[in-house]
Structure 1
Amino acid sequence: MSQVDTQLEDIRSQIEQEIPNDVTITDVKYEGPELVVYTRDPKRFAGDGDLIRRLASQLRKRITVRPDPSTLSPPSEARQQVLDVVPEEAGVSDLDFHADTGEVVIEAQKPGMVIGRRGSTLREITQEVGWTPEVVRTPPIESSTVSNVRNFLKQEREERRDILERVGRQIHREELSDDEWVRITTLGCCREVGRAAFILNTPETRILIDCGDKPGAEGEVPYLQVPEALGAGAQNIDAVVLTHAHLDHSALIPLLFKYGYDGPIYTTEPSRDLMGLLQLDYLDVAAKEGRTPPYESAQVREAIKHTIPLEYGDVTDIAPDVKITFHNAGHILGSAVTHFHIGDGLYNVAFSGDIHYDDTRLFNGAVNDFPRVETLVLESTYGGRNDYQTDQEDSERKLKEVINETYDRGGKVVIPAFAVGRSQELMLVLEEAMRNGDIPEMPVHLDGMIWEATAIHTTYPEYLRDDLRDRIFHEDENPFLADQFNHIDGGEDERQEVADGDQCIILSTSGMIEGGPIMSWLRHIGPESDSTLTFVGYQAQGTLGRRIQNGWDEIPVDGWGGGGRGDTLTLNMQTETVDGFSGHADRQGLENFVKTMNPRPEKVLCVHGDESSVQDLSSALYHDYNMRTFAPKNLETFRFK
C-alpha cells in the first residue's frame, strides 16, 4: 500500500470516529487539493451544518461530501424536488445530474438564492434529494466562451476526475527530502514588459508561475529550455500558477502540454475562461497574419481541462510543501496576487502579477495584507521616476474633452483597447457620460473580442466592485446593456458602413496596434484629419502603438487591409494619449502597495518593466524603506533560505 493510500485510510478512520455510528463512509479520496468523502447518508451530513467544518478544521483539509452513487434517487424524481426547494426568484435555467459523482449542477440567474444564508438552501437540497448541489451563474449576457468551457468540461468529466485524482495523490505524497531551501529563477519579464515566467523551486517541488509572450517581439519567448524549467523534462514541473489571463502572462501555457506537461494549472475561474478566449484568438491572429502558431487549439483545450479554479482567500495545498492563496489584484477580471506559503512556516513569497492599487470603476484595489511575506516579486510597468498617471477623475475629464472636440469637428474617436479590463472600464465611463449629458449620445462600436469579454465579466460579478455587481443583477440597470453599445459582427462591410457614417466612438482590439481589427479601422479612418486616435493603455516598446504614440504617421500595411508588401498608410487623424486608464498601478501606486503592505517584505524583486523603470523603482524602495531590492535580469536565480 502506498503512503497516500495509508494516509487516506488513516483519514477515513478519523472521520468515522467523529461521525455517528449509523453513518456509513464508502470511500475517501483526493481530487486535486480537496478531500472527497463518499457516503450512503448524505442527508445526515447535510442535517449537521457544522460537521464538515469540524472535520475540515481537524484534518486541515478542504472537504467535499458526495453521495455514494448507489443511494441516489432518479434524476426525473430529484429534478422537481430541487425546484420545489429553490425559490422561484432564483431563476433556475438548467439542472444537470451527474450520477458518477452524485452532483447536480444548478445554473441560475441568482446563485445566491440557490445557496441560501450560509449554505442553508444547499443543505436543504441535499436533505431532500441526497444529490450534492453545485451552483453556477446563468450569464446575463450570453457568452459563447462560458458556454463552450462548461460544455467541454461536462464532456470531459470522467477524464478530468482521473486528472484530479492523480494531482491529489501528487499533492499529498510523502516529502522525499530533508533539505530546506527556496529558489526563484527568472525566465522572462525582467527589465522588459512581457513574457512573464518564473520558476519557484524547493527540494520537493517545482512550480511555474505564468508563461506569456512578449508584445511586439515575435519569437521572444520565456527561457523554458533551461534545466530549471523544461530542460529537465516537462514532467518535472509539479504545477503551473497563472496570475491572470493577459497574453503576456498566459499565451504559452498550452505550449507546455505540447512538450508533455500533464499537471494542474491553478488560477481563478474567470481567468480560466478568459485564458481560453485569448489563447484561441492568439491562434486566430497568427493564422490571419500567415505565422505558424507555436501550438494548436487541442492544447488550449488541454490547458482548460487541467485547470483547477480557486477563489480569492482560499488557502490551498498544491504540493507536499506549498500552499497558495489568491487575492484580488485589481488589474483585470480574476487577476490575483498570489501568496505562497512554503514548508511548515519556512518561507513566504508573494507574486504581485499585475496590480492596480487604487479602486477603479470595475474593481476594488489590490490586496496587500498577508499573514507573512519575506519576499515580494513586484511588477514595475509604471515604476519609472516620472511614471505618475493622472487620477481617474482627471483622466475621464480629458477623455470627454477629446470626444467632444472630435464630435464638434465631425470626426470619429478610435480607441485601441485591450479586450479584457480597459474596454469594460471605458464602457462604464462612456455610458455614464452619455446618460449625464457630458458627451453627446452616439453609437459606441465594439470590435474584436470586446463584447465576448464583457459577457464573461457579467458572468462573474462577484469579482467586480459591489455597486457594479448590484447593477448587473438588475437587468434594467446593467450598464453593459446600454443601447449605445453595438457589437461589430458584420466584418469589413459593417466597418465600412461605420466609417462612412456619422460621428461615433470605436473601441477595437488590439490594444497595442499589433494586428487585429484596429488595423482595419486605421485603414478606414486613419486618413481623416477630423478624427482622433486615442491611446488609453500601455504601449510596449517595439509595438506599432508605441511608434505611432512617438510620432510615426507613415505606418506599414503589409498583409492587412488589402495592403501589398512594402505599402504604407499615411495617418492624418489626430493622436491623443489619455493616461489613468491603465490596469497597472503607477509609480505612486506601486510605492503605496509596498508602503502599506502588512507585513512589509524583507526583499523585493522588481520585474515586468522597462530597464529604467525596474531600476528606478528598486532604488526608490531601497532608499525609502530600507529593504533589500533587486532589478534582476532574465535567467538569474535567487536563493532565499
Structure 2
Amino acid sequence: MSVEEVLLELKRRVQTKLPPNINVTGIEFEGPELVIYTDDPRRLADDGEIVRSLAKDLRKRVVVRPDLKVLADPEGAVKKIQQVVPPEAGLTNYYFDGETGEVVIEAEKPGLVIGRHGATLREITKLIGWTPKVVRTPPVRSSTIANTKEYLRSVQSERKEILKTIGRRIHRDVASKDQWVRITTLGGCREVGRSCMLLSTPESKIIVDCGVNVGSDDSATPYLYVPEAYPLNQIDAVVLTHAHLDHAGLVPMLYKYGYEGPIYCTPPTRDLFVLLQLDYIDIAGREGKRMPYESAMIREALKHTITLNYGDVTDIAPDTKLTMHNAGHILGSSICHFHVGDGLYNVAFTGDFKFEKTRLFDPAVHTFPRLETLVMEATYGGSNSTQPSRKEAEGRLLKVVRDTIKRGGKVIIPAFAVGRSQEVMIALEEAIRKKSLEEISVYLDGMIYEATAIHTTYPEYLNNELRDLIFHKGINPFLSECFVQVETSSQRSKIVDGDPCVVLATSGMMNGGPILEYLKALGPDERNTLVIVGYQAEGTLGRRIQKGWNEIPLSAEGKTQTVKINLEVVTVDGFSGHSDRNQLMDYVRRVYPKPSRVITNHGDESNCLDLASSIYKKHRIPTMAPMNLETVRLV
C-alpha cells in the first residue's frame, strides 16, 4: 500500500471516529506525527478526549491543526487570549506560526494558561482557532534559544516540507519478509570519544550518536565511510542521547556529506548541541585547526531536528519506535529505547548516565516495557573506579575553597559548560546562602552562563527538589548574586589581580577556552588551587596536569610559552555525571526487565572489558565489549 493510500484510509477512519459535524479538510504525515486539519478546531477543543482516543486507536502521534482559513487575526487573537487568561499568569510573549496554525504563548506561570485539565487552553482554541502551545518564560534569557526559535520561524515553510518528506519515509510500507536486528560499532568502543553506533534492520538504518574525540587528531571521527553506513542518504534517522561533543559534535557534518534525514533528541539537547557546536567550530577556527563543518551545516541540522519529550513513544522508521527516558547525566540526556518490529526486539542505549540522584537530576530510569539488549557506558567501569558520595565531594570542595581563600589564593575550576558547572554552582550557592562559606564572588567564564540560562528554560527536566525550591520557595540558585558573568578580557584581568574568589571556566579538559588564560596568570602562584571535578580523557592537557606535569606549553598569539604549574592541583571526585563502578553494577542488578545481553562501550579498553566480565560473573548475563567496526547480530 502506498503512502497516499495509507493516508486515504486513515482519513476515512478518522472521519468515522469524529462527530458528524466536524469536517476533516486534510490529513498528512509530518515527521512522526499524523496531522489532521479541520475547519472547525473549536468543536474538537470542546472534547479533549477525542484526540487521545484517535491516537490510541490509530497507534500514531496525532496532532489536530486548524485549516488556515479559520484562524483569527494575530492581533485580535492576542486580545482574546488576554481576556481568557488571568493576569497573574504573567503573559510575556506570543509567536504565531502560520504554517502549522500554532501560537506559542510564553507565560511566567504556564499552569494558569493551561487551566484545570486543559480547560483554559480549550477555551483559547475555541475563541481564536489557533492551536495554543504554552511555554514557561525563562528567568534568564538565553541568546541560543532566542536565535534558535527565530531561525526556525524563518524557515517554517521549508521545514514543513522536510517534515512531510520524513513522515512519508517513516510510514512507507515494510517491504522485506526477513527479520533481523544488528548493531555496528562505528566509534566509542573501548575508548572515550566519537561515540557512534548503527542500529540496522532489513528496513531501516538508525545512527545512535555521532560524536567527535576532541582530544585526538588521529582517531577524532567515527567510521562513517564503511559500507554499513555509507552512503549517508540511506540512513533513516540520527538519535542523540545528549549534547556533549563526544556524542553529538559531528552531527552537522552528516549533512555536508549527503544525509537528509531527521535528528531526534529532547528539546534541551537541541539547544545545548547548537551552543556547543558553535563554540566547537569557533575555537577550532581561532586555533587555526581545520573545521569539520561550517555554521551553515549547524543550521541545516537544526532545520531537520525533531524534539521528543521523555516518555513519548514515536515511530522513526517503518519498523522502529523510539522512546527517550531520563539518563541523569546532563540536561535533557536520554536513555534511548528502541522497539523493533511488531514485538520482535527491544534494545536500549544508555549513552552517558548517572544512577544516583544529583543536585540537578533524578537517577537514570531503569524500568522499561521490554528489554532484550542493553548497551551501556563503562567510563568508570573498572573494578577500582569508585567515586565518593556527592555529599563527601561537596564537603571536600568547600574545604579546598576555604583553605585557598584563607591563604589569599584563588580557586579555578575547569568545568564542562553543561552539567558539572551547574552542579558545582548549586553546591557553592547553598554553602554561601547557609553561611558555611564566606560570601565570595563566583565568576562564570566561557559558555557557562549561557548554558545555565538554558537550564533555567527547562525546569521540568530538573529534579523535584530543585523545582520546588525554584517555584514554591522562591529561591532560584542559578540567579544568586554570588555569580558574576565574565564577558571581557579586561574583566578577566581584574579577576586575576583582585580579591580571593572562585572561577568556573571552560573547557572541562583544558583543551581550550578561557581556562587557559587563568592557568597562564594564576598557575605559577602556589597560593592558588586548580580543582578538577570532571573526567580528563587521555591526551588532554587536563590529564597531563592531573598526572603531575609542573610545566605546560600554552600558545598565545601564535607563539608557544611554557607556564609553570606551582599552584595546588586537587582532584575532587564525586561530581561526575557518569555512574561509578558500583552504580553501573547496581544499574544492571536493578534494570527491569533483565536483559538477555549487555554490551559495554564508552570507556577505555580495560574498563569496558572489566565491566563486561564482572556483569557476566555476577549476573550470568552474556556480555560483550566490542571493538570499533564490529557488527553484532541481536536477533
For Structure 1 versus Structure 2, the TM-score category normalised by the shorter chain is: over 0.9
1:259-274 matches, within 5 Å, as 259-274=257-272
Query: Residue 427 of structure 1: which of 408, 425, 450 is its match?
Result: 425
Choose from 462, 465, 481 the match for 1:467.
465
Equivalent of 2:538 in 529, 538, 541: 541
Distance 1:474 1:517, change over 3 A: farther
Distance 1:590 1:121 in 2: 45
User: What's the CA shift for 1:73?
Assistant: 2.2
Q: 1:564 aligns with which of 548, 552, 559?
A: 559
Query: Is the counterpart of residue 229 in structure 1 residue 226 in structure 2?
Result: no
Aligned position for 1:623:
617
Q: Which moved more, 1:337-346 or 1:438-447?
A: 438-447
Give per-residue Cα distances to partners, 1:158-192, cap 9 Å, x unaligned. Answer: 11111111111111110111110000000111111
2 CA distance for matches of 1:98 and 1:278? 27
CA distance in structure 2 between the partners assigned to 1:289 and 1:6 by the alignment: 55
- Consecutive unaligned residues in structure 1, runs of 5 or more: none
For residues 119-134 of structure 1, the aligned pairs below 5 Å read 119-134=118-133
For the Cα contact (< 8 Å) 1:215–1:540, is it kept in 2? Answer: no
Contact 2:99 2:160 in 1 (8 A): no
Deviation, structure 1 residue 218: 2.6
Shift of 1:471: 3.0
Secondary structure of 2:96's aligned partner: strand
What residue is the counterpart of 1:507 in the other structure? 504
- Between stretches 74-83 and 422-431, larger displacement belongs to 74-83
Return the match for 1:596 from 572, 590, 598: 590
Partner of 2:629: 635
Equivalent pair of 2:238/2:262 in contact (CA under 8 Å):
yes
Range that drifts further, 366-375 or 465-474: 465-474
Distance 1:111 1:218, change over 3 A: farther
| Percent of aligned positions that are identical | 56
Pairing partner for 2:572 from 559, 571, 578: 578
SS of alignment partner, residue 477 of structure 1: coil
1:224-373 pair list within 5 angstroms = 224-230=224-230, 233-373=231-371
User: 2:491 is matched with which residue?
Assistant: 494
Following the alignment from structure 1 to structure 2, what is the Cα–Cα distance between the partners of residues 116 and 196?
43
Q: Which residue of 2 is the match for residue 155 of structure 1?
A: 154
State the Cα distance separating 1:556 from its structure 2 match. 0.8
Give the distance between the partners of 1:579 and 1:296, measured in 2 at CA.
36
**How far did 1:379 drift?**
0.3
Bigger drift between 13-22 and 240-249 goes to 13-22
User: What's the C-alpha RMSD, in Å, of the aligned pairs?
Assistant: 1.2
Q: Which position in structure 1 is the counterpart of 2:166?
A: 167
Aligned to 1:141: 140
Distance of 2:173 and 2:599 partners within structure 1: 32
**Residue 398 in structure 1 maps to residue 396 in structure 2:** yes
Quote the offset at 1:83 in angstroms.
Answer: 1.3
3-state SS of the aligned residue for 2:559?
coil
Amino acid corresponding to residue 475 of structure 2 in structure 1: E
Q: Distance in 1 between matches of 2:544 and 2:221?
A: 22
Deviation of the 1:90 alpha carbon: 1.8
Which of residues 509, 512, 517 is equivalent to 2:514? 517
TM-score (norm 2): 0.98
Q: CA deviation at 1:41?
A: 1.1
Letter in 1 for 2:512: G
Q: Deviations over 1:35-93 (max 9, x none)?
A: 11111111110111111111111111111111111122222222111111122222111
Whole-Å separation in 1 of the counterparts to 2:617 and 2:116 = 49
Which moves more between the two structures, 460-469 or 346-355? 460-469
Alpha-carbon distance, 1:101 to partner: 2.4
Say whether the 8 Å CA contact 1:370–1:599 is kept in structure 2: yes
Q: Identify if the C-alpha distance between structure 1 residues 13 and 563 changes in structure 2 by more than 3 Å, giving closer, same or farther.
A: closer
Larger mean Cα displacement after TM superposition, 64-73 or 236-245: 64-73
Say whether 1:9 aligns with 2:3. Answer: no
Q: Indicate if the aligned counterparts of 2:402 and 2:437 stay in contact, CA closer than 8 A.
A: yes
- The whole-number CA distance in structure 2 between the counterparts of 1:134 and 1:262 is 28
Task: Give the C-alpha shift of residue 475 in structure 1.
Answer: 9.3
CA contact (8 A) 1:458 1:472 kept: no
Separation (CA, whole Å) in 2 of partners of 1:99 and 1:535 = 49
Correspondence for 1:104: 103
* Structure 1 position 65 matched with structure 2 position 64: yes
Distance across 2 between alignment mates of 1:344 and 1:184: 19
Residue-by-residue CA offset, 1:409-461 (whole Å, 9 max, x unaligned): 11000000000011001010000111122222111000000000000000000
